[in-house]
Amino acid sequence: MRALYWTLGLSWVAFLVFYLLGGRVGSLAYLAFGFLYMWIPGLVALSFARKEGVRLPLALRPNRYWLFAWLFPVALTLLSIPLSLPFGARKGWEALRQPTPQATAQSIPETLSAFLPLVLILSALMAGATVNLLAALGEELLWRGYLWEKLKERGFWPASLEIGFWWGLWHAPLILAGHNYPREPLLGVPMMILFTLALTPGLLWVREKAGSVLAAALFHGTLNAIAGLSLLLVERTHDLLIGVVGLPGLFLLSLFNLWLRRRV
């Protein structure tokens, strides 16, 4: 499929140029590049959809599946925390102050520290429905938009497997450079593919039930916003065994897919 080859080629070349120019994962420049990288699939999808007359539904008519898309990533992340504890020690709530600027963290009264998890969750929900949604939409226009329209005749589950595999492989340069699994970049590539394989059915289901690619972007954007919480509250002893993008997340998504299998 030409759109897929164009996406992988342009994305990987863009990352190579970024890396050769001195860009690194975690830098301020990486934040800007990450937004561009996420929109390369979207621009390719829009181009091919226009040429081929493929409809990419972007209706904003919320129903209960939009609410599911917004809240499920939070539940997924919170449940992954206790499942991570066999592999890493639990951190106290004070660990949530780490990403907060020192001056700001010190100004937070101890009595309000108990509300910090709630504040972070609400912040993630707001980000997931705004800036993160906009960023994730770039990816979703291709993976749950154009590719799904081209592959849906093969059936929900075969299409999910194919889309999930290519979506995970698309992340490869980022993973090898230290994104998501900084201590395990090589094993991180197949781990990311497993994660995207497990995540894709839920995203496709939401996209179909909600009738819009925007709902999938809401799901994706909220997950991106909240996932880091599962890494803050558990000692990160091993990248592949901790958090929602590790083994706990895979286990939970597998259970969800077993439930979904009976309904799709």
Position 98 scores a pLDDT of 60
Quote the pLDDT of residue 107. Answer: 47
Give me 69's structure tokens. Answer: 């898309």
Query: What's the CA gap between 58 and 212, in Å, rounded?
Result: 5
Residues in the chain predicted with pLDDT less than 50, given as ranges, are 101-107
**Count of alpha carbons within 13 angstroms of residue 134, beta-carbon side:** 6
Strand blocks (E) in the chain? none
What is the C-alpha separation between 228 and 104, in angstroms, rounded? 19
pTM: 0.93
C-beta separation of 262 from 205 below 8 A: no
CA 53 to chain centre: 28
Q: What is the pLDDT of residue 144?
A: 98
Gap between the Cα atoms of 132 and 130, Å rounded: 6
Answer for the pair 13, 37: CB distance below 8 angstroms, yes or no.
no
